[in-house]
């Protein structure tokens, strides 16, 4: 089966979630991703080495479909191996703090001198430039800076903290994969590679494009629980049901709202959808009615009436949900310990679909294989292992 990114060779130096997710997305569509991992004993600041446990690798979905070579990039011999790999590569991904790759001698300028067609992608918290570029941080700090954290939660309460989806996976990994594909397309026209500077806080702010439209137009601001889309209204929010689960309503359009009022048998709120002074009162009424039936009962009723609604699925129910299964979003992947379940591929391409091809490698699983493709003899490989240059 032809895959969209067949023939694209990627060297992935990244360690934490954004980079591995970025290269996983590309591997799922056929890219040959080689993890360039820290050899045992390498400085922990460059990323702790993974263990060699086959079961841990099998369930490591972010590294699925990839190969692994372990190099100590502080060793000149290992660095030369990396340079040789760059000669035949299309993309290098890294997720170190700004300045680290320069000190290691694997920065974009160095790599482009070896291979002018190479595309570099640096995924960092605040980007390679600007006053925050050298600050440490995690997802919560990047969504704070990018504006996403400040619009979540309920009025009068601290912002709600999501798990690390918005900055790490969307603002960093997903945006990085998109940028790499754009750079690959540009290279088809120019013949040249280029450097991608993907700051996660930038990615978050890009995701906030629509949210800032009103601010730029008339100075209006969004506060937690202060607008329809973040919980201010009674017709767009979550409610507890009879069985203690949560249920989401999103009946924004007038015809959906009218149908919701009918199903809830609340004629007193019909015709008053946009009376914001009564939203708190209406929330109480809707909440009381929602507690009279189970989440599944409400889903059956509302789906028949064409109302924007859905059960808030807990993780154990997400992976057994009929729709998610029908869409191929839970798959079985072949690994060293047999088939294991993982989350499937989001984008559905009709002609060159993506597919997880195999499980993740163990640390350095393909070191010897890769070194042989570079022309190194078994004797030389053994010497590199003995010196600690490779693992």
Catalytic residues: 138, 168
Pairing between β-strand 119-124 and β-strand 195-199 as defined by DSSP bridges: parallel
Q: How far is CA 81 from the centre of its chain?
A: 30
Convert 103-122 to b/e letters by CB count within 10 Å (16 or more is b): ebebbbebbbeebeebbbbb
Dihedrals phi, psi of 27, to nearest 5 degrees: -65, -35
Q: Which of 225, 204, 227, 203 is nearest to 215 (CA)?
A: 227
- Cα–Cα dist 50/57, whole Å: 9
- Cα–Cα dist 95/137, whole Å: 13
- Cα–Cα dist 47/15, whole Å: 6
3-state secondary structure of 34: strand
Task: Supply the Cα-derived Rg of the chain in whole angstroms.
Answer: 25
- Cα–Cα dist 295/130, whole Å: 48
How many beta carbons lie within 10 A of that of residue 87, not counting itself? Answer: 11
Inter-residue contact 162 to 152 (CB < 8 Å): yes
For residue 70, the cross-strand partners are 37
């Amino acid at each position: 089966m032809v895959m969209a990114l067949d023939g694209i060779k990627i060297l992935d130096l990244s360690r934490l979630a954004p980079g591995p997710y970025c290269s996983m997305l590309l591997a799922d569509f056929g890219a040959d991703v080689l993890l360039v991992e820290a050899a045992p004993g390498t400085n922990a600041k460059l990323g702790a080495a993974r263990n060699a446990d086959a079961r841990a690798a099998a369930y490591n979905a972010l590294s699925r479909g990839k190969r692994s070579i372990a190099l100590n990039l502080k060793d000149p011999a290992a660095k030369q191996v990396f340079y040789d790999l760059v000669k035949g590569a299309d993309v290098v991904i890294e997720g170190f703090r700004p300045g680290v790759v320069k000190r290691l001698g694997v920065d974009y300028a160095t790599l482009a001198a070896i291979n002018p067609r190479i595309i570099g992608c640096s995924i960092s918290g605040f980007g390679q430039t600007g006053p925050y570029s050298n600050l440490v941080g995690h997802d919560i700090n990047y969504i704070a800076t990018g504006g996403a954290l400040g619009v979540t939660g309920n009025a009068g309460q601290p912002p709600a903290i999501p798990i690390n989806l918005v900055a790490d996976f969307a603002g960093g990994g997903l945006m990085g994969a998109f940028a790499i594909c754009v750079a690959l397309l540009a290279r088809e026209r120019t013949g040249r590679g280029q450097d991608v500077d993907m700051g996660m806080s930038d990615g978050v702010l890009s995701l906030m494009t629509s949210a800032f439209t009103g601010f730029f137009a008339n100075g209006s601001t969004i506060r937690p629980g202060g607008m329809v889309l973040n919980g201010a209204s009674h017709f767009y929010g979550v409610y507890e049901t009879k069985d203690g689960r949560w249920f989401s309503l999103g009946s924004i359009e007038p015809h959906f709202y009218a149908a919701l009022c009918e199903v809830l048998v609340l004629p007193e709120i019909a015709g008053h959808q946009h009376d914001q002074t009564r939203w708190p009162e209406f929330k109480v009424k809707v909440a009381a009615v929602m507690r009279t039936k189970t989440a599944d009962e409400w889903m059956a009723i509302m789906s028949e009436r064409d109302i924007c609604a859905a059960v808030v699925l807990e993780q154990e129910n997400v992976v057994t949900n009929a729709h998610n299964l029908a869409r191929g979003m839970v798959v079985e992947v072949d690994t060293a310990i047999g088939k294991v379940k993982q989350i499937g591929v989001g984008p559905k391409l009709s002609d060159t679909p993506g597919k997880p091809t195999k499980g993740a490698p163990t640390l350095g699983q393909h070191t010897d294989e890769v070194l042989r493709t570079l022309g190194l003899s078994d004797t030389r490989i053994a010497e590199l292992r003995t010196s600690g240059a490779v693992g």
